[in-house]
Structure 1
Amino acid sequence: MIDHLDHLVLTTADEAACVSFYVDGLGMTLETFGAARKAFRFGNQKINLHVKGNEFEPKAHTPVPGALDLCFIASKPLDAVISELQKKGLQIVEGPVMRTGAVSPIRSIYLRDPDLNLIEISEIAK
């Protein structure tokens, strides 16, 4: 019945810091759509952005910043991602470690966005 994820919604307390992290830090593209809504685009997916207290309807029952645990597959080797993140001053809180991904083993690192969501960046393990 379900084929793939199209988008998800991230709620932030600090829009500017959030945009900086996902665009400048992780290299996603900022997109504006509809009535001045914002989203981060990467690959064939996107993350729609809601600002706490100013969410779009309909929304989750209890949208709160910092409640997500997201895993992204990198478009380049994980060692290159680590080097890039370090150059940008983003702190890795764990890893690299081996994990179980949706379709295969993955090698992962973890960091936190400005709302303290846990962000996992991985490569398919060989």
Structure 2
Amino acid sequence: MISRIDHIVLTVADIEQSVQFYVKVLGMEEVTFGNGRRAVKFGNQKINFQTIGQELRNHSLEGSGDLCLITNWKLEDVIAHLESNQVNLLEGPVEKSGANGMITSIYFNDLDNNLVEVSRYIDQEQSDL
């Protein structure tokens, strides 16, 4: 019935600061859509941003998001990039279970304390050897 995720929505304090964080730190593309709404896009997915009360049918609060993003970079390169952008690593690398097998993950918070997990599939890591 469901084939993929199209977009998710994160509730943030400052939409423009969040857009710039995801563009600078995670290399996503900024997007403006319907009535000036803001988002970032990567691959075939996007993350929409909203402030508290902007979308009345959504009751999430700032910092309540938890997302896992898959990278094709080596995790040591991701960690170095995060460090160069003054992003503090919370945990990792650690092995976890992803949607399609085992992954190695690192964790950090975005500007609003949403938990961001950046992961790489272990079989992809082994193909780099």
Matched residues in 2 for 1:16 and 1:49: separation? 9
1:119 to 112, 116, 119: 116
- 2:60 alignment counterpart: 63
Q: Tell me, which stretches of 5 or more residues in structure 2 are unaligned?
A: 124-129
1:1-126 to structure 2, matched below 5 A, reads: 1-53=1-53, 55-56=54-55, 59-60=57-58, 62-126=59-123
Measure how far apart 1:29 and its partner are: 0.7
User: What amino acid is the match of 1:34?
Assistant: G
Deviating beyond 4 angstroms after TM superposition, the runs of 4 or more aligned structure 1 residues are none
User: Which structure has the highest helix share of the two?
Assistant: 2
C-alpha deviations, 1:22-77, integer Å up to 9, x for none?
11111111100111011110111001111223x246x32x1211111100001311
Deviation of residue 16 (structure 1)?
A: 3.1
SS state at 1:47 partner: strand
Identity level (%): 44
1:86 Cα deviation after fit: 0.9
Q: Distance in 1 between the 2:71 and 2:32 partners?
A: 24
Q: Secondary structure at the match of 1:64?
A: coil
How far does residue 21 in structure 1 lie from its aligned partner after superposition?
1.5
Q: State the number of aligned residues.
A: 123
TM-score, length-scaled by structure 2: 0.89
Matching residue's letter, 1:43: G
Look up the SS of the partner of 2:89 in the other structure: coil
Q: Which moved more, 1:74-83 or 1:31-40?
A: 74-83
Report which stretch shifted further, 31-40 or 12-21.
Answer: 12-21
